[in-house]
A and B are shown apart, each in its own frame.
Chain A
Amino acid sequence: MEDRLKCVLYVEDEPDIQVVARLALEVLGGFTVEICSSGEEAMVRAPEFKPQLILLDVMMPGMDGPTTLERLRVLPQFSATPVVFMTAKVQPDEVARYKALGAVDVIPKPFDPMTLAGKVQSIWERCHA
């Protein structure tokens, strides 16, 4: 049982957001964080990093979030890994659509760095309740 969340992968193309997210997740959440700048990079690095939870930016150049999720799900070790979309679009129907794609939740952007780790932790706990 993976009861404690330790390893978080964040796929995000914006360098500013990468820095602040890493700080927020590592310092406030105490997680080990790996950042990938694109879906393609995530496909290569996720298998060795073995994240317990993946945060995916939706709108990225090249492979976008939903496509990255689809490709990750094909790999057996990520068939059930909780994936959270990070996106500015949080209309209820869009949230429903992302969940239908297999995301466990959606964290709206822009996020508050002070509460991001708490949100991620509570999503994790909900997945394992």
Chain B
Amino acid sequence: MLDPAELQAKLQLLNDAYAAQLPEKFRQIEQAGESLRQAVWDEEGFQILHRLVHSLSGSGKTFGFSALSEAARALENELKLIGEAKQVLDDAQRDRIGHLLRELECSASQRDSAVVLQSESIATSTPSPTANFSGRICVVEDNLEMADELQAHLSYFGYEVSVFLTLDDFRRAMPRHSNDVVLMDVNFPEDSLGGIHVMTELQRGRDVPLPVIFLSAHNGLDVRLGAVRAGGVAYLNKPVNIGILVDKLDAMTSTQVSAAYRVLIVDDSASLASYYAEMLKQAGMIVRVVNDPLEVLGPLFDFSPDLILVDMYMPGCTGTELAQVIRQIDEFISIPIVFLSAETDLGKQLSAVGFGGDDFLTKPIEAEHLVASVTSRIKRSLVLRSYMVRDSLTGLLNHTAIKDRLAHELARAKRQGKSLAFAMLDIDHFKQVNDAYGHPVGDRVIKSLSRLLKQRLRENDLVGRYGGEEFAVILADADAAAAMKVLDSIREDFSRLRHLAEDQEFSTSFSCGIADNSNFGEGSKLTDAADKALYKAKHAGRNRILIAG
């Protein structure tokens, strides 16, 4: 199958070739049009004119000239009337034809850019300042101690940091850092608003502004206004609350990180299925195709789709039967199922929806319509699902959800003969944090650990909030030793994090127990083992990780 981008390029070439022929076609039309100005009826000349116009009306839109098609159609309708009468034109008719001919030529300048835009409008979003984010942060801060602290803390959260102690250093190094996020101090020794002035100067030559967060001890509106004008997307007062800063950075840089939607297509027609698959892939989705409906269960579990597109009529099993089967599996009770069919009978559509389908798309489906329906279905279901499975404070999986996923992941690891590690974490002396600094500070500590885990673990690792200050982590394709390695570096960094409560700083730590599926193949045994190891770690003095033996 031709790559969709290549196909787009080829169609574009054809469109250009068509466009190049248009002047010659207009010349021919004009020449043939002369026949209508003669004093006697010229049937042959008229037929040539009619054919030329008909050809434009039937081809323009195909090559991205919709307006041309329409103008030609209008002219063709007029010509049809004249062709039936077969009489020399009167003045009014001549004027009308002349007008329509001129409109025809004008319409050629309106190109649809349809072929290209159709996919671009789906696939790309508006460029945001952080669209090409490098993952690096430039800290521009003249206070060495402060700069070091920012660098250390941000690196715990997975950000790479470059420090510049003077504005001149930053200005010189800027070209190498044009995709970074800038953390800019406002006040410098040579200029109390130096940070704002330098950013204003640097933003001037740029199409897409550099994303910059200003750090300042000033709180006046004039300074804040200056910061906004210099491209400031956030303005934080000193002393900087690292938790808030990381929240801002995550929010700014996470837009591109969101995982691609996964769609499973079940359609016995291989060609049509791959056609739909291409459309969805162009919109950035990950697609798996199953041609035999009876083979759907394997991919359903392995691929974990966000939505299933099911053809209505297939040999062996109908779409509605398949939807009922899928709905009887607990994990898929809420997955959106969309039927595809040439069925236009509303009654039949409704009964299909009654049998567990969520929506009904009638073939043939325009690419944009397909992508839009699939996207909105998935979005809605993800929001709903997140209410069901996410912890509201941290956004991590909740207790039930992480246990469900553990059973699921264990089964998958077993099928694929891969290892899987499970870890239980508990923040040490958390009650003391709450008692000493209050619950809002305690919540922030919980959030900082959850963020650290999410940022430092791999994307396919699963993190859940198991209880108050207790977390659970599922590491796919890792044994206890590998899990130990990554979690221990997180443990070290977490213990070095300094949390801010009013004017006091404090730090805390966590203990952790790990078990893997080589010794504990069953969900409850695995969680018990990890829990026992965690208990031992606490008793051995906390701030450590033990592997279940």
Please tell me if the beta carbons of B17 and A30 are within 8 angstroms of each other in the complex.
Answer: no
A70 within 8 Å of B (CB atoms)? no
- Rounded to whole Å, the gap between the CB of A4 and the closest CB of chain B is 7
Which residues of B in the span 148-169 have a Cβ within 8 Å of any Cβ on A? none
In the bound complex, how far is the Cα of B11 from the Cα of A112, in angstroms?
11
Verify B10–A28 contact, CB threshold 8 A.
Answer: no
Shortest Cβ distance from residue A62 to the other chain B in the assembled complex, whole angstroms: 12
User: Residue A110 contacts which of B51, B58, B365 (CB distance < 8 angstroms)?
Assistant: B58
Indicate if A109 sits at the interface (CB-CB under 8 A): yes
Judging by beta carbons under 8 Å apart, are A112 and B58 in contact?
no
Shortest A90–chain B CB gap in Å is 11
> Is B269 a contact partner of A19 (Cβ separation < 8 A)?
no
Binds A, one of B272-280, B390-398, B491-499: B272-280
Q: What is the CA–CA distance of A86 and B191 in the complex, to the nearest angstrom? A: 74
Query: Whose C-beta in chain B lies nearest to the C-beta of A3?
Result: B315
Given A27-B1, A110-B69, A125 and B62 contact (CB-CB distance below 8 Å)? no
Q: Given A14-B59, A27-B2, A110-B57, are A118 and B269 also a contact pair (CB < 8 Å)?
A: no
Choice from A14, A112, A118 contacting B275 with Cβ under 8 Å: A118
Contact B54 A31, beta carbon cutoff 8 Å: no
Q: Which A residues between 58 and 89 are near B, CB-CB below 8 angstroms?
A: 59, 61, 87-88
Residues of B within 8 A of A112 (CB): 61-62, 114, 366
Asked if A23 CB lies within 8 Å of chain B CBs, one says yes
Question: Which residue of B269, B270, B367 has the most chain A CB atoms within 10 A of its CB atom?
Answer: B269
**Across the interface, do A17 and B365 meet the contact criterion of CB distance under 8 Å?**
no
Within 8 A of A (CB), among B65-110: 69, 73, 76
Which chain A residue has the least Cβ–Cβ distance from B313? A129
User: How far, in whole Å, are A110 and B58 apart by their CA atoms in the complex?
Assistant: 4
* Chain A stretch 103-127: residues in CB contact (< 8 A) with chain B: 109-115, 117-119, 121-122, 125-126
**Residues of B with C-beta under 8 A to A14:** 55, 58-59
B59 x A16 contact (CB < 8 A): yes
- In the bound assembly, the distance between CA atoms of A61 and B61 in angstroms comes to 22
Does B192 belong to the interface (CB within 8 Å)? no
The reply to whether A29 and B275 form a contact with Cβ atoms under 8 Å apart is: yes
Asked if B436 is at the interface of the complex by the 8 Å CB criterion, the answer is no
**Is A20 part of the contact surface with B, judged by Cβ < 8 Å?**
yes
Contacts of A29 in B (CB 8 A): 271, 275
The prevalent SS among residues of B at the interface is helix
CB atoms of A114 and B115 under 8 A apart: yes
List A contacts of B315 (CB < 8 A): 3
Contacts of B367 in A (CB 8 A): 114-115
Q: Is the CB of B269 within 8 A of A20?
A: no
Q: Which residues of B contact A19 (CB under 8 A)?
A: 14
> A20-B14, A27-B2 known; A121 and B271 CB under 8 Å?
yes
B342 within 8 A of A: yes
Q: Do A113 and B11 touch across chains, with their CB atoms under 8 A apart?
A: yes
Q: Tally the A-B contacts, defined by beta carbons under 8 Å.
A: 105
User: In the complex, what residue of chain A is closest to B366 when comparing beta carbons?
Assistant: A115
Q: Which A-chain residue is minimally distant from B60 (CB atoms)?
A: A110
* A110-B76 Cα distance, complex, nearest whole Å: 14
| Cβ contact within 8 Å between A114 and B118 | yes
Number of contact residues on B: which range applies?
A: 35 or more
Given A23-B10, A112-B62, residue A122 in contact with residue B1 (CB < 8 A):
no
B59 near A59 (CB under 8 angstroms)?
no
Query: Is the C-beta of B63 less than 8 angstroms from some C-beta in chain A?
Result: yes
Q: Indicate whether B41 reaches chain A with its CB closer than 8 angstroms.
A: no
Q: Is B18 an interface residue (CB 8 A)?
A: yes
Q: Which of B21, B60, B62, B367 has the largest number of chain A CB atoms within 10 A? A: B62
Residues on B with C-beta less than 8 A from A118 are 272, 275, 363-365
CB proximity of B18 to chain A, nearest CB, Å = 5
Task: Give the residue name and chain of the B residue nearest to A31 (CB).
Answer: B271
Give chain B residues whose Cβ lies under 8 Å from the Cβ of A119: 364
Known: A17-B58, A115-B366, A121-B271. 12 other contacts (CB 8 A): A16-B63, A17-B62, A23-B11, A61-B51, A109-B62, A110-B61, A110-B63, A112-B61, A112-B62, A115-B367, A122-B364, A125-B342
| B contact set with A: CB distance below 8 Å | 1-2, 7, 10-11, 14, 17-18, 21, 51, 54-55, 57-63, 69, 73, 76, 114-115, 118, 269-272, 274-275, 278, 313, 315, 342, 363-367
Closest 8 CB pairs of A and B: A110-B61, A30-B271, A109-B58, A118-B364, A110-B62, A122-B363, A88-B58, A27-B2
Binding site for B on A (CB under 8 A): 3-5, 14, 16-17, 19-20, 23, 27-31, 59, 61, 87-88, 109-115, 117-119, 121-122, 125-126, 129
Can you list 23 A-B contacts (CB < 8 A)? A4-B270, A16-B17, A19-B14, A20-B14, A20-B63, A23-B10, A29-B271, A30-B1, A30-B275, A59-B54, A59-B58, A110-B61, A111-B62, A112-B114, A113-B11, A115-B366, A115-B367, A118-B365, A121-B269, A121-B364, A122-B363, A125-B269, A125-B363
